[in-house]
Amino acid sequence: MQLGFVTGAVWATRKMPQLVGLIFLLVEPENGGDPFVAVDSVGAGPGDRVLVTRGSGAKGTENLPIDARVVGIVDMIERRESHVSE
Protein backbone atom coordinates (compact mmCIF):
# COMPACT_ATOMS: atom_id res chain seq x y z
CA MET A 1 0.00 0.00 0.00
CA GLN A 2 1.01 3.58 -0.37
CA LEU A 3 1.07 6.48 2.07
CA GLY A 4 -0.37 9.81 0.98
CA PHE A 5 -2.25 12.93 1.97
CA VAL A 6 -5.80 13.80 0.98
CA THR A 7 -5.67 17.16 -0.78
CA GLY A 8 -9.17 17.48 -2.19
CA ALA A 9 -12.09 15.78 -3.86
CA VAL A 10 -13.28 15.14 -7.40
CA TRP A 11 -16.88 15.60 -8.52
CA ALA A 12 -18.34 13.76 -11.50
CA THR A 13 -22.08 13.82 -12.13
CA ARG A 14 -21.83 11.69 -15.24
CA LYS A 15 -20.28 8.38 -14.22
CA MET A 16 -20.75 4.62 -14.36
CA PRO A 17 -23.84 3.56 -12.34
CA GLN A 18 -21.73 1.45 -9.94
CA LEU A 19 -19.89 4.61 -8.86
CA VAL A 20 -22.95 6.55 -7.70
CA GLY A 21 -22.69 7.53 -4.04
CA LEU A 22 -18.93 7.03 -3.77
CA ILE A 23 -16.55 9.77 -2.63
CA PHE A 24 -13.57 10.42 -4.85
CA LEU A 25 -10.60 11.83 -2.99
CA LEU A 26 -7.57 13.47 -4.52
CA VAL A 27 -4.45 11.91 -3.00
CA GLU A 28 -0.89 13.22 -3.05
CA PRO A 29 1.56 10.31 -2.62
CA GLU A 30 3.97 10.84 0.26
CA ASN A 31 7.04 9.53 -1.51
CA GLY A 32 6.84 11.05 -4.96
CA GLY A 33 4.69 9.94 -7.83
CA ASP A 34 1.76 11.70 -9.45
CA PRO A 35 -1.41 12.66 -7.53
CA PHE A 36 -4.31 10.29 -8.17
CA VAL A 37 -7.95 9.75 -7.28
CA ALA A 38 -9.04 7.14 -4.73
CA VAL A 39 -12.43 6.03 -3.45
CA ASP A 40 -12.90 6.67 0.27
CA SER A 41 -13.81 3.73 2.55
CA VAL A 42 -12.96 5.14 5.97
CA GLY A 43 -14.36 8.68 6.13
CA ALA A 44 -11.06 10.40 5.30
CA GLY A 45 -10.97 14.13 4.61
CA PRO A 46 -8.58 16.83 3.41
CA GLY A 47 -5.33 16.87 5.38
CA ASP A 48 -5.60 13.25 6.49
CA ARG A 49 -2.56 11.03 6.07
CA VAL A 50 -3.91 7.85 4.53
CA LEU A 51 -3.08 4.29 3.55
CA VAL A 52 -4.11 3.57 -0.03
CA THR A 53 -4.53 0.27 -1.85
CA ARG A 54 -4.07 0.46 -5.59
CA GLY A 55 -4.94 -1.94 -8.38
CA SER A 56 -6.97 -5.09 -8.11
CA GLY A 57 -7.23 -4.99 -4.30
CA ALA A 58 -9.17 -1.74 -4.52
CA LYS A 59 -12.15 -3.32 -6.28
CA GLY A 60 -13.54 -4.90 -3.13
CA THR A 61 -16.21 -7.56 -2.82
CA GLU A 62 -18.56 -5.41 -4.94
CA ASN A 63 -16.01 -5.63 -7.80
CA LEU A 64 -16.19 -1.88 -8.47
CA PRO A 65 -14.65 -0.36 -11.62
CA ILE A 66 -12.01 1.47 -9.59
CA ASP A 67 -8.25 1.13 -9.09
CA ALA A 68 -7.48 2.98 -5.83
CA ARG A 69 -9.13 2.99 -2.41
CA VAL A 70 -8.34 4.75 0.86
CA VAL A 71 -8.34 1.80 3.29
CA GLY A 72 -7.03 3.43 6.48
CA ILE A 73 -6.17 6.69 8.22
CA VAL A 74 -2.60 6.64 9.52
CA ASP A 75 -2.10 7.30 13.27
CA MET A 76 1.61 6.76 13.48
CA ILE A 77 4.62 5.53 11.54
CA GLU A 78 7.23 3.80 13.60
CA ARG A 79 10.67 3.67 12.01
CA ARG A 80 13.21 1.17 13.29
CA GLU A 81 16.14 0.10 11.17
CA SER A 82 17.08 -3.05 13.09
CA HIS A 83 15.65 -5.01 16.02
CA VAL A 84 17.12 -6.47 19.17
CA SER A 85 17.81 -10.19 18.92
CA GLU A 86 15.11 -12.20 20.68
Enumerate binding residues for a copy of itself (CB under 8 A): 1-3, 7-16, 19, 24, 26, 29, 31-38, 41-43, 45-48, 51, 53-61, 63-69, 71-83
* CB contact at 8 A, 38 and 3: no
Query: Distance between CA 68 and CA 59 in Å, rounded?
Result: 8
* CB contact at 8 A, 34 and 20: no
Q: Considering the complex, what minimum distance in angstroms separates the CB of residue 79 from a copy of itself?
A: 4
Q: Considering the complex, what minimum distance in angstroms separates the CB of residue 23 from a copy of itself?
A: 11
Q: Considering the complex, what minimum distance in angstroms separates the CB of residue 43 from a copy of itself?
A: 7
* CB contact at 8 A, 46 and 8: yes
